[in-house]
Each structure stands twice: as structure tokens, then as C-alpha cells.
Amino acid sequence: MDAISPELELTDAELHLYSRQILLEGWDIEAQERLKLSNVCIVGCGGIGCVLAELLARAGVGKITLIDPDTIEMSNLQRQLAFTPEDLGFYKAEILAKRLRQINPHVRVESINQALTTENATALIQHQDLVLDGCDQFAIRYLVNQSCVKLNVPLLSASAIGFQGQLFMLEGDSACYACLFPPENQADESLRCADSGVLATTPNVMASLQAHHALLYLGLGKMPLRQNFLLWDGLNFKQRILSFQKDTDCPVCQAR
């Protein structure tokens, strides 16, 4: 690993804060310093994004950019742990950013109260070390995937609906989200929490798994879900990991 510049070395306060992680066999000060050097972008500050962002902030990821155009509604409070009734009507990204700064003042947080679009995706994604997708709209999910493929930025994408969740990683020349789910087969936007329902714990389980994988990648360079797809069945408390390959006809990753 390259030498860490003095201003990016862990302070005494940070060493104390992250001491339980640094004590782990297989995780050391260098892994923690790699976290501090990392920039991540979270697309969606709802059920998945809230817990994901908090876990990464507590763990010591250096900079977190939050992207979400939505404001907080009463129905969000059932599963979106960062928010309270006093936050109703405020932007999710702003309130979540405020909470993260309170939790860990050593982490830099930026909030973007706008939707990810074809116009701003490159500027928001191109300098990230990892993009974390937790949105509930297929169109945005495909845009995130397409942008990460184009810019060669690693992506961890998680979703949750009902009792079920999914998680996969795009990295380098691996298969992309469109290989798994061709866009022409995913036109039903009704498959969202607002329309289909979701158990309070489902997005939080998926957020924890996504955060765990992110820490393994950022701190240790591990990618257990590269070319693999995790399926969580919360109703029957079962988990499966399926291997998959690139689609030779994929319009996204085969076109670059």
C-alpha cells in the first residue's frame, strides 16, 4: 500500500473510535486507513440507504455522498431508521447527512437533493471508489448500472421488497445488472415498497449485507459477490448465492 499522507493518517480519536475493528484478525490499521481514504456514493436514502449510510459512517468511510430527491413521509418511518416524526417534509438526504455528521464527525458527508439523471450521473459517479445503489426504481437502477459500466466504477446494488432481497456486485469486466435483468423484462414499476409492501426488517437486512460487503471491498479488496448474486428469503429465513455470467448480447456491458 502507498504511504498515507499525514493529514489522512488516523488520529488518536479515530484509533479509539475504530479500535474494535482494528482488533479484528484480518483487519488492521492499514485497512482502516483505506476506509478513511474511500469516497462512496449512496443512491437512495430510504429503507436500505439509511442503515447502509449509518453503518459506513460508523465504520469510518472517509466521504459519503447521499443522493435522493424525496422528502420524508409518515409511511417511511416504519423502516427508515434515520428519521423521526419531526423530520416529516424535509429532504431525506439532508436529514440523513445531518445524522451521519452527529454520529461520526470524522466522516465527510455531502447531500444531493436531486434525482440521478443522465445529465448529472457522470459528474456524481466518476470520482467514486464505490457506488452503492439502494433505490426502488428500475429506471434509476439501470442508469446507475449503465453509468458505473461506462465509467468503470465498482457498484454494489441492493434491493428489498416484501420479505425478499437481492444483492450483487459489478466490478471491472464482470457481468452487470442488465445481464441479470434485461431492461425489456423489467417494465413493471409497481414492484416498489410503496405499491407492494415491505416488512420493516427486510431493507435493513439487505443494507447490513450491502454495508458488510462494502467494508470488505474498501478495506480488504475482497469481492465475494463478484459474478455472484445473493437472494434473501426472509419469510423462510433462507439465503442463496447464485453464480452468473455475462450476457454476450447485453446492450450495456458488451457495448463499451
* CATH number, position 49: 3.40.50.720
CB 213 within 8 A of CB 221: no
Residue 155: inside a domain, yes or no? Answer: yes
Residue 204: inside a domain, yes or no? Answer: yes
Residue 67, class by beta-carbon neighbours within 10 Å (0-12 exposed, 13-18 middle, 19+ buried)?
buried
* Number of other residues whose CB lies within 10 A of the CB of residue 27: 18
The total of structural domains in the chain comes to: 1
pTM of the model: 0.93
Half-sphere exposure of 149 (CA within 13 A, CB side): 21
More confident position, 162 or 187: 162
The SS3 call for residue 213 is: helix
Residue 250: inside a domain, yes or no? Answer: no
Residue 32: inside a domain, yes or no? Answer: yes
Tell me what the mean pLDDT of segment 187-206 comes to: 77
Torsion sign over Cα 232, 234, 239, 240: negative
CB 110 within 8 A of CB 27: no
Residue 4: inside a domain, yes or no? Answer: no
Reported as a pLDDT band with limits 50, 70 and 90, residue 184 is confident
pLDDT exceeds cutoff 60 at 76 = yes
Residue 223: inside a domain, yes or no? Answer: yes
Tell me what the mean pLDDT of segment 77-96 comes to: 97
Residue 253: inside a domain, yes or no? Answer: no
Torsion sign over Cα 66, 68, 72, 76: negative
Residue 249: inside a domain, yes or no? Answer: no
CB 180 within 8 A of CB 159: no
Structural domain that includes position 168: 9-243
